[in-house]
């Protein structure tokens, strides 16, 4: 849920910000409006934001990107294991 919210903010041009603020991040950045997301790694929300920018924000786009990234991870893990260990 939070990845999609961050991705919508990225796609609309607001940047890597969130409306779901954790208490510890208020110690780093006390301003609540346009609070930067300090919890998630940026790769997935940025890719999702790019996909939302190219299409329209929807559950279908989010699920398709998640499936594609999962499949890519499985393939990369397979090729890495094959390279590290003898086939």
DSSP letters for 13-71:
TS-SEES---HHHHHH----TTEEP-SS-SHHHHHHHHHHHHS---HHHHHHHHHHHHH
Q: Which of 27, 26, 38, 23 is nearest to 15 (CA)?
A: 38
Which pLDDT score, from 0 to 100, does residue 27 have?
67
Confidence of residue 1 (pLDDT cuts 50, 70, 90): low
- With a pLDDT cut of 70, the percent of the chain lying above it is 90
pLDDT tens-digit profile of 48-70? 899 999 998 888 999 999 999 99
In this structure, is the dihedral angle defined by the CA atoms of residues 70, 71, 75 and 81, taken in order, positive or negative? Answer: positive
pLDDT above 70 for 38: no
């Amino acid at each position: 849920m939070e990845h999609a919210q961050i991705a919508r903010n990225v796609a609309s041009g607001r940047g890597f910000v969130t409306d779901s603020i954790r208490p510890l991040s208020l110690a780093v950045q006390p301003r609540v409006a346009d609070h930067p997301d300090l919890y998630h790694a940026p790769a997935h929300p940025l890719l999702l934001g790019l996909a939302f920018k190219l299409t329209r924000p929807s559950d279908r786009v989010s699920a398709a990107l998640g499936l594609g990234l999962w499949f890519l991870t499985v393939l990369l893990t397979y090729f890495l294991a094959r390279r590290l260990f003898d086939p």
